[in-house]
Amino acid sequence: MTTLRRNRLGRSSVAVTELAFGAAAIGNLFTPVDDAQAEEAVEAAWQAGVRYFDTAPHYGLGLSEHRLGEALRSRPRSEYVLSTKVGRILEPTPGAGGDDLANGFAVPAAHRRRWDFSADGVRRSIEESLNRLDLDRIDIAYLHDPDDHAEQALDQAYPALHRLRDEGVIGAIGIGMNQAELPTRFVHETEIDVVLLAGRYSLLDQRGLAELLPAASARGVGVVVGGVFNSGLLADPSPDATFDYAAAPPELVARAFELQEVCGRYGVPLRAAALQFPFGHPAVTGVLVGLRSAGQAADAAAMLRHPVPDALWDELRALGLLPTGAPTPGDGSEEQS
C-alpha cells in the first residue's frame, strides 16, 4: 500500500493527503456508475494512499454522499479526512418524473436543490449530510458556490460553521468555488482554513495566481486545487474535449496539444504535468481529482509519482505556455513526488 504525504490545513488540526478523491463522479456525474464500480474506485484510491475524500449534497442529489459513506464504512474513522459542502438543501419532490441531467447528474429527479446559506440552512445541511454519510462528524465543511449569495455566506453561513467547528461537529471551514475573487475575500475577511479552488490554477488557467494564492500564503490558509484537467482537456486533448464542462474553444485545444507535445519530448504524460503543476506554489496543500473507476484512481496516483524534470517547466516558460511568474515544483525546492 502506498503512502502519500499529508499537509495540514491552515490553523486547523486537519491534515489532508496530497491527492484527494473527488466523489462527484460516483454521484453519476454525466453518466451512471453502479455501486460496485463506485466502491472499487474508493478501494483503489485507498490502496494508492489516498486518505482525503470530498463529496457534496449537490452531487447526484445525495447519491455521492450515500455511496462514499458506504464505501468508507469499514475504514478506521481516524485514518481518513472527509469533506462535504453546504449551501444547497435537498428537498423531496414526490411524484416527480425525469432525471437530473439538466444539472449534470444521471439520477432520478427525486429531489430539488434550494439555495440556502442561512445559519439554519447550514445546520440542516450538515445534519442531513451526516445522516447520508452515516457519520458523527465531518472533517471539512465547504461553503459551496456562493457566487450569488456572498453576503449571506459571509454574514450567516460562515459564523454558523464557526460555531459548528467550536462544537467539534466539523474540523475545518472552507470555501469551494470555480472562481478566485470571492474566495480571496473570504481569506482576507474570515478565519477559514482552506479554499477548494476548481479549475483556476491549472496549466491552462492561472487566474488563482494573481491574488488568491498569495493571500492564502500570507494568511496561512491551505488551498486544495480541483479541476487540474479542466474537466477533460488536459487529461486527453482532442477537438471534442471539454473545458469547464463545455466544448473546449479551438484556441485552448491548440494550446493543450502544444503542452502535450512538449511533455512528450521529456517522456512525461500531460496528465502528470497537469497534476503536479499546482504543487509549485507553497499555498497548495493538495490536488483533488474526480474519479469514477479503479483504473482512474490508480492512474492519478501514478501520475502524481511520475518524474517531471525541471527542464520541462523551463521549456514551457520559454515557449510562453506558462507565465514567467508561475512557480513550478522544481523552483528552488525539492521536486514534488
* H or E stretch at 303: helix 294-305
Provide the 8-state DSSP code for 147.
T
Residue 336 reports pLDDT greater than 70: no
Residue 74 reports pLDDT greater than 90: yes
Q: Are 113 and 96 in contact (CB under 8 A)?
A: no
pTM: 0.96
> Mean per-residue pLDDT for 130-157?
98
> Mean per-residue pLDDT for 212-223?
98
**What per-residue string of b and e applies to 172-181 under the rule 16 or more CB within 10 Å gives b?**
bbbbbbbbbe
pLDDT digits (tens, 9 = 90+) for 218-272: 999 999 999 999 999 999 999 999 999 889 999 999 999 999 999 999 999 999 9
> Mean per-residue pLDDT for 160-169?
97
Mean pLDDT of the chain: 96
Domains and CATH numbers, the chain: 12-226+278-307 (3.20.20.100)
Give how far Cα 234 sits from Cα of 31, 51, 133, 200, 273, Å.
Answer: 20, 24, 32, 13, 9
Residues written for the chain: 337
Residue 273 reports pLDDT greater than 60: yes
How far apart (Å, rounded) are the C-alpha atoms in residues 280 and 77?
A: 31
Provide the 8-state DSSP code for 334.
P
pLDDT digits (tens, 9 = 90+) for 28-62: 999 999 999 999 999 999 999 999 999 999 999 99
**Environment class of 148 (CB within 10 Å of its CB; exposed 0-12, middle 13-18, buried 19+):** exposed
Report the pLDDT value the prediction gives residue 97, as an integer from 0 to 100.
Answer: 85
- Active-site annotation, residues: 59
pLDDT digits (tens, 9 = 90+) for 274-312: 999 999 999 999 999 999 999 999 999 999 999 999 999
Report the pLDDT value the prediction gives residue 2, as an integer from 0 to 100.
Answer: 81
